[in-house]
Amino acid sequence: MELKNIKGIGPKTIEHLEKLGITNIEELLSYYPYRYQVIKLSNLNEVIESSGAIVGVIESNALIKYVKRNLNILSFQFLTNRKLIKVIIFNRSFLKRNLIIGKDLTLIGKYNPQTNTFIASDIKFKKLEKSMIEPKYHLNKEIKPSAFHKLIDIALKTDIEVLDYIPVYLNKTYDFLDKKLALKEIHHPTNPQLLKKAKLKFIYEELFVFMFKINYLKHKNSLNKEFLKRNINKQDINKFIDNLPFTLTSDQIKATDDIINDFNAPKRMNRLILGDVGSGKTIVSFIAIYANYLNNYQSVLMAPTEILAKQHYENILNIFKDYNLNIKLLVGNTKKKEKEAILEDVAQQKIDVLIGTHAVLNEELKFKNLGLVITDEQHRFGVNQRSSLQNKGQLVDVIYLSATPIPRTYALTLYGDMDTSMIKTKPKGRQEVVTDIKKESELKEVLTKVLEEVKLGHQIYVVAPAIEENEDMPTHDVNTLKEKFSKAFKGLVKIGVLHGKQKPKEKEQIMQDFLDKKYSILISTTVIEVGIDVKNATMMIVFNAERFGLATLHQLRGRVGRSNLASYCYLISNYEKERLEVLKNSNDGFYISQKDFELRGEGDLFGSKQSGDMVFKIANLSRDFKILKQAKVDSLKYLEEILKGNTSSTYYQNLIKEMDFID
């Protein structure tokens, strides 16, 4: 059901929800909380050592004291259980108008008996009768938590059919909650036991659907008995490799051999090149393009961003400057006349290699003899997008590139429909990035090092976990860091700012400007985690490093050390030093990702809210891998029953048609 058809949800609210990726009632109900806060009713003596909730009545007008630009203190008198206490809460000045004498409140925080002061971390404008579990959601500034809770209530009360994607027999086997009840519990928990069962239900459901897709793709690949006939002479490939301006690593040679063997084998290639950051996956894909060209087939390489596509284009032109390949670039801002010429030349096979973004999915693009499809950062594209590109030709071979190093066991499960090659060794001449952990009190030392690098003409990335100030999450943000760095360097160092709320063209331009050395420092969120190759960047500084998974931090660190220049990474944090030491002591992405699985109960292995197949709404691979493995087994059995005609499901049959991508 569309949001506009739900009573109580207006046009402005719909606009705000769309920014969160919510466009219908199902997406609203499946916008699950990211954590829960247990509000336990206590008396003052019980909240001295640990946080808790107290109830009472406001006894005085609220006062606001402004300490400095980013700090204000709100205070008032409060009567709880016949005792008058002082309440203070930081950075909540906007609450003053709601704090009326005689109003009932529930306060969450700690009590200091020496000063008779209650330090509140949160305020509830109602008197709780019993302890409760409160869900917390990732929201934008346009939607307040209280307003979002009301929207969830409206959705839960709306009379709609709730589709359960778990087959009936599996719901019975695992004694899962009814889906309507599970939705109520996930958003309005009544007790910890039911909440646990609700979460298990949705984690399994999400992983079951995901593994059903993977299992079907594997089945579909097994049916592809037809293949492109090739005869690639390995001596021709070795000659090409010998003429490269650098020496391949042993892992790059092994991956290249895997590809050539796939080309020559009586089957279609469906291979994932899984490599650490800076391991040299791209040159392996270029060798595959050359091998494909030798057999008179066209190749296409799709990258997730324009700037990355342009970089691939410039690199491939350089690699093939002495060869007779016609290579073109097709991106969103390609001029109309040039685009029309490219479409015509591709159709006539006057173009051997096409590099591009989503623009290559254009329905007007028709290849005469497409033989190879390469998708860079494959987890950033959905199944349909990849299938669309493959359907540009007959029986095409496919290579996926991914810079997300994950343990082999996990890779074999997640990418069960693909053959996998792993590249771990780094190209020769690359120096290891020197990593150190610094407390915020040691920031002056880091800034001194920044100035040294800037004077050498080098560039620096600075990463923050937030775009703007957030009163609920006291962390460094991009805008505040821009002010601090500008002040520290007295405006003499050019600083750029990059974040996810900027328009795509604006982001592309800022990254291009950084590449062109118009900025010495780029302050950003994790949008630069998968980015372009800035060989001049020699330092990465990550603020509030404890808020990121080790795999994400390693991806960020991989933005530097991409040349023979000495490079550094500073993790700024007052917490979790032991966990961060893993990064200080290792540059091996596969080892780090394994430790991330072991140490990090929550977090996103694939970075912050990236788009594509690997983003789960509630499942977490490091925590839920056993459930994933069971979902793999269960979904395979269910798929087999559907294919045999022993059972039917409109949802899964439509899913199969979607993956078949029948035009």
Q: Does 612 score more than 80 pLDDT?
A: no
pLDDT 10s digits, 142-155: 888 888 999 999 99
Tell me, yes or no, whether 68 and 96 share the same domain. Answer: yes
What is the model's pTM?
Answer: 0.72
Q: Which of 521, 511, 589 is nearest to 549 (CA)?
A: 589
Tell me, yes or no, whether 279 and 373 share the same domain. Answer: yes
Instruction: Tell me the average pLDDT across 383-387.
Output: 54
Instruction: List the CATH number of the domain containing 286.
Output: 3.40.50.300
More confident residue, 232 or 470: 232
Tell me, yes or no, whether 105 and 65 share the same domain. Answer: yes
- Of the listed ranges 88-102, 215-229, 432-446, 546-560, the least confidently predicted one is 215-229
Residue 380's pLDDT band (boundaries 50, 70, 90)? very low
The side-by-side arrangement of strands in the sheet containing 327-330 is 327-330, 353-356, 298-302, 370-375, 397-402, 270-275, 419-423
More confident residue, 605 or 491: 491
CB 525 within 8 A of CB 466: yes
Residue 606's pLDDT band (boundaries 50, 70, 90)? very low
Residue 589's pLDDT band (boundaries 50, 70, 90)? confident
Tell me, yes or no, whether 439 and 586 share the same domain. Answer: yes
Query: Would you say residue 467 lies in a domain?
Result: yes
Instruction: Tell me the average pLDDT across 225-232.
Output: 85
CB 622 within 8 A of CB 605: yes
Tell the burial category of 483 from Cβ atoms under 10 Å away from its Cβ (0-12, 13-18, 19+). Answer: exposed
Angle at 322 between CA 321 and CA 325, to 5 degrees: 70
Domain that holds residue 363: 269-423
Map 445-469 to HEC letters: HHHHHHHHHHHCCCEEEEECCECCC
Query: For residue 518, what are its two tokens?
Result: 């118009």
HSE, CB side, 13 Å, CA atoms: give it for residue 82: 0
Mean pLDDT of the chain: 87
Q: What 3-state class would DSSP assign to 375?
A: strand
Tell me, yes or no, whether 386 and 490 share the same domain. Answer: no
Given 423, 442, 461, the domain boundary residue is: 423
pLDDT for position 530? 58
Q: Which of 620, 630, 593 is nearest to 211 (CA)?
A: 630
Tell me, yes or no, whether 390 and 494 share the same domain. Answer: no
Query: Would you say residue 185 lies in a domain?
Result: no
